[in-house]
Amino acid sequence: MKPLLSVAIATKNREQYCIAAIQSILDYRDKRIEITIADNSATTLVKQYVENLNSTQVKYRYDGGGVSSIENFNRAVELTSGEYVLMIGDDDSILPNAVDVALWAKENDADSICSNESVVYYWPNSRDIYPNGHLTIPVGTSEKEAVNVKKNLVKLLKNGIQHYLLYPLPKTYHGIVKKDVLDKIKAKTGHYYGGLSPDTYSCIAVSCIARNHYIINEPISIAGVCATSTTADNFSGKHSGTVDNIPHLQNRPNYVWNVKVPKYYSVNTIWAESGLKALEELGEVKYLQLFNMYQLMAQGWVNNYKFIPHVIKKESGITRKCNQISNIALYAGLSLAFSKIVLKKFAHTLKAKFKSKKYIVNNRVIDIQEAINIYSGLGK
């Protein structure tokens, strides 16, 4: 019988978290769920664990050699056979309602559905302030809303593909997408994921292909943060610098960086580069023309200037010359972009003040399974 939901996990050298994620999903004892794992770890700990499970619900591939992170994600999705796919990180898990949401999507012929809420779990010692773990649960509802994908895609492009998670767009990472949609992307591009960030790439690519998309107001997964996660690195500025030796380009010697994106390492440039790569590979010329590089450059300066000012100045200058932009045009474009950032920040602060979200917080949560138990115990 074909699984309803495939939960895909790409993992590398975070064996204890990956094993915990697998076990937490199997503990639901729901045969409609399939778990696929692409493992590029230096050890075979996960491999041994999966072999000992001997579960028909788990598909696994191990390769300890030189595999790029994007290829590892592609391999995880390649293993899936479910009607819908949900990609999570190896320090994440899914919530009890994920299968019900996938079933709703099937019954309503939805191409994709994702939540605008997220349960966030910091594993113990992932940050100094959370030695015993930290769980944040938003209070939401199961209401679902149809979204105009193309309209929101245009808005995202005009914002330089910045803060894409704030837009109600499809995604495979912590979102549910019909496997047929992903297969169409692969048929056009040769792969499920490209670019530097699989989640940004899939957000843009699925937005181009999906016929319909829905947003749900309650979470369907847990976003985990362990000590070696990219989220944890963001707090210390480790995601700012030159592109030399960045993990996204390991084992990808022939990668071509888009000339509209300053070539330095930051979440801002990785987002933009990956989104543009999806549009390029899908041949979406009309959307490529809507990309606002000034918004990207301005946001990159705001977020990273205190860490890498010289790198940003150098690479922004190169980008200006490559795109034959005069200094006057650059300053004018950046000035407008900076003003928009200030206005958006002010509007966001004002909105948060008058419409504060309700959260349930727990500061003593030892692992992801306990996080699920706490969530389930709230009657969710």
Tell me which H or E stretch contains 34: strand 33-39
Residue 115 to residue 101: CA distance in whole angstroms? 10
pLDDT at residue 204, rounded to an integer = 98
> What spatial distance separates the first Cα and last Cα of the chain, rounded to whole Å?
29
205-208: long-range pairs with CB below 8 Å, 24+:
205/278, 205/281, 205/282, 206/111, 206/112, 206/169, 206/170, 206/171, 206/172, 206/177, 206/181, 206/182, 207/149, 207/150, 207/152, 207/153, 207/169, 207/170, 208/153, 208/278, 208/279, 208/282, 208/284, 208/287
> Any residues with CB less than 8 A from the CB of 15 and at least 6 apart, and which?
41, 43, 45, 46
Instruction: Sheet with 119-122: list strands edge to edge.
Output: 93-94, 221-225, 119-122, 134-138, 359-362
Residue 86 to residue 338: CA distance in whole angstroms? 36
Nearest to 205 by CA among 219, 190, 215, 220: 190
pLDDT at residue 230, rounded to an integer = 65
pLDDT at residue 262, rounded to an integer = 98
Q: Vertex 74, ends 217 and 164: CA angle to 5°?
A: 40
pLDDT at residue 379, rounded to an integer = 58
Q: Pairing state of beta strands 112-115 and 213-216?
A: parallel
pLDDT at residue 234, rounded to an integer = 53
Residue 316 to residue 330: CA distance in whole angstroms? 10
pLDDT at residue 233, rounded to an integer = 53
> Each residue of 86-135: pLDDT tens digit?
999 999 999 999 999 999 999 999 999 999 998 999 999 999 999 999 99
366 phi and psi angles, rounded to 5 deg: -80, -30
Residues of the chain short of pLDDT 50, as ranges, are 235
